[in-house]
Each structure stands twice: as structure tokens, then as C-alpha cells.
Amino acid sequence: MDQRPVRDRAGQGVRALARRLLGRPESVAPSPRRSNPDAVVDCAVYVNGRREAGRPHYDDAYARARHGRDAFVWLGLHDPGPAVLAAVGRTFGLDELTVEQALADGHRPTVQRHGSVTLLVLRTAGYVEHAELTDTSEVIDTGDVMVLLGDRFAITVRHGAAGALRTVRADIEGRPALLAAGPWAVAYAVCARMVDSYLEVAGHVERDLERVEEAVFARDRSADIQHIYQLKREVVEFKRAVLPLQAPMRTLLDPDGPPRALHRWFVDVDGRLSRAVDRVAAYDDLLTSIVQSRLAQLAVEQNNDMRKIAAWAAIAATQTGIAGIYGMNFDHMPELAWRYGYAGALALMGAAALFLYRLFRRSGWL
């Protein structure tokens, strides 16, 4: 009989007895590390403006932020589903309305307060490169980003492809003195990035406008009205993203808004937003003028075509009249018995046509 199983069990019993006598706990299998869902772009804890190492689960990160001094957690989400947002809402104590608003996209820029949580909604904008403008070209891609601010957390929820916030996080992490102001520093960084993107997109749109304007007022006038109208539609969409942000930005400048340390930074963002608003409004007005000018050109071109048609019709009517008169079957008509009557009729028709052509050409009809 093999004695090895007996000896193995005896050895295990001796080692367990030794651990109890020495006060050493038996080894316990470590609990599996929780991982963030795919919708989480990044999650980090910041203490005194500096990021702690690692990327913890948002449950653990919020627990550390609540028990730490001068600490908060920044959770970044991209197109989260209902299950993810529901779990995030339970962790951070968000009410049902706030979760529903964060789940849907297409909101107007606004600032709302739900108890101790502030909801800031901004529209994102990105320029879509295109070789040439067509009647279906997508020039500006828009989306939205929501910033949820609490005492110890900042949650950014982004919908759409435009407006990635990785660079925003990297930039603000390089400014720990500013990030030490807490979650509102995240709101400032997001607002600043959105306004800067508006100015960047406005620069690209301005170049498109210059090309369209050159095409409309060129000699060949190759601009198509559908192309101009498509650009105007894109600018109107851009305008809806930029102009409504003015009122929420004014709200953020109230005394009950961000900390006083960030007030001047939000004032700077508001100034840049005003420049973006002025440029976008000017582009919309300019495009309206270009569309009206092109419509007037089309009306003039159609009028010119009608004048040309009328002039050629008058010339043809003269020939028809002469031929009709000499084609009558009357017995007594001048030149019927004339030897050169046929040639004379053709000469008369040619002279009349030449006279009318020069007359219409001189008057600008041909």
C-alpha cells in the first residue's frame, strides 16, 4: 500500500498547526481586481492637484476620494449604455433625472443644478476634411459633452466622435496648481477646450467660405447653389452649438458658481466664446448674402437666356413672314414673273436677318 497520500496529509496538518502556533494566518486567495467597463475612457483620483498612480475602478476611486483630504475623482465616459450609467449613478448618488439626461444626446448647452450636483452641457464641434464641397458634404461634425460636478467628483460624459477629452486631461494634469481647485477645474478645462475647438473649426469654415465666394463671383460662375446651401446648413448647425453657450457661460460667472480662484479663468473662456460667436454669426450672414447673390445671378442668367431666345425667335419670324407672303397662291403679285424674284426674296430674307441680328447685338440681347 502506498503511504505517500497519508504522509502528504500529515505534512499539511503539521504545517497548518505550526501556522496557528506561530500566529501566521493561512494564505487567502486574493479577490479578483475589478475592471472598468468599456465606456470608461479614464478614471483617476487627484490629491492636491496631482494624479495618483493607477486607474482604479470608479467605486474604489470614489471611496478613496471621499476619505482623502483635498481629493476628488475624475471619471470620463464615452457613449455609455443605460446599465453603465445606472451603476455610475448609484455609486456617485445621482438622481434618476440626471442619469436620464446624461444618457441622451442632442441637448442644448445649459447649466442645471440637481441638489448638490451641477450639470453642465456643452456641444462639441469638429471639422470634417473634404476634397471639394458637394451637396451632401459633411463639413462640421457635432456632438455633446456633459460635465457632472459634485463635492468630490467630476464625471464627463461624451456623445459623438468629436470633442475627445484625452488631451484635456493631459493638459490639466500638467497644471497641478489649477487642478488643485477641485472638480470645477475639470469644468474649466472642458469649457476651454470646447471654445478653442469652436475657433479652430471657424478658421476652417472661413477658408471654405473664401473658396465659395471666389466661385460665385468668378467669370465662369462655377458655384452650384446646392453646394452653397449645404455649407449654409452646416454653418447653421455649428451656430446652434456655439451661440446657446453664451447664457450658461454667464451663469458660471455668478458668485454662486465656480470657486473664486477659477473666476478669472472662466472670464477668459467667456471672452474667447464671444469671439467665436461673432465669427460664426458673421459667417452665417455672409453665406446668406452669397446665397442671395447667387440666386440673383441665376435670375439674371435666366433673363439673358430668355432675351436670346426672343431675339432668335424674332429673326426666325421675319424669315417665316417673308416666305409666307411669297408663298401665297395669288394671280397678281409683284415679282412673280420676275426672272430674279427667287434670288431677290432670299436676299431680302438675308438682309432682314442681318439687320435684326446687328440690332439685337447692339442692344445686348445677343
Is the model's pLDDT at 120 over the cut of 50? yes
C-alpha cell at 172: 490639466
For residue 330, what pLDDT is reported? 67
Is the model's pLDDT at 6 over the cut of 50? no
pLDDT tens-digit profile of 179-234? 999 999 999 999 999 999 999 999 999 998 888 888 887 777 666 778 888 888 88
Angle subtended by helix axes 263-326 and 183-216, to nearest 10: 20
For residue 73, what pLDDT is reported? 95
Phi, psi of 53 (to 5 degrees): -65, 150
Is the model's pLDDT at 166 over the cut of 90? no
C-alpha cell at 127: 471639422
CA 2 from chain center: how many Å?
77
For residue 7, what pLDDT is reported? 42
| Mean pLDDT over the full length of the chain | 82
User: By the 8 A CB rule, do 287 and 293 touch?
Assistant: no
Phi, psi of 146 (to 5 degrees): -115, 135
User: By the 8 A CB rule, do 348 and 319 touch?
Assistant: no
C-alpha cell at 50: 496631482
User: By the 8 A CB rule, do 57 and 63 touch?
Assistant: no
Of 6-15, 94-103, 300-309, 319-328, the one with minimum mean pLDDT is 6-15
Q: How many CB atoms lie within 10 A of CB 341?
A: 14
User: By the 8 A CB rule, do 228 and 294 touch?
Assistant: yes
Of 105-109, 321-325, 327-331, the one with minimum mean pLDDT is 327-331
Half-sphere exposure of 317 (CA within 13 A, CB side): 7
Residue 334 amino acid letter: P
pLDDT tens-digit profile of 40-98? 889 999 999 899 988 889 999 999 998 888 899 999 999 898 999 999 999 999 988 88
- Strand order of the β-sheet with 117-127 is 50-51, 40-47, 71-78, 153-159, 140-149, 117-127, 110-114
pTM, two decimal places: 0.74
The residue-averaged pLDDT of 338-343 equals: 75
User: By the 8 A CB rule, do 310 and 251 touch?
Assistant: no
For residue 20, what pLDDT is reported? 44
Is the model's pLDDT at 21 over the cut of 70? no
For residue 35, what pLDDT is reported? 58
Q: How confident is the model at residue 271 (pLDDT cuts 50, 70, 90)?
A: very high
Is the model's pLDDT at 8 over the cut of 60? no
User: By the 8 A CB rule, do 181 and 262 touch?
Assistant: yes
For residue 74, what pLDDT is reported? 94
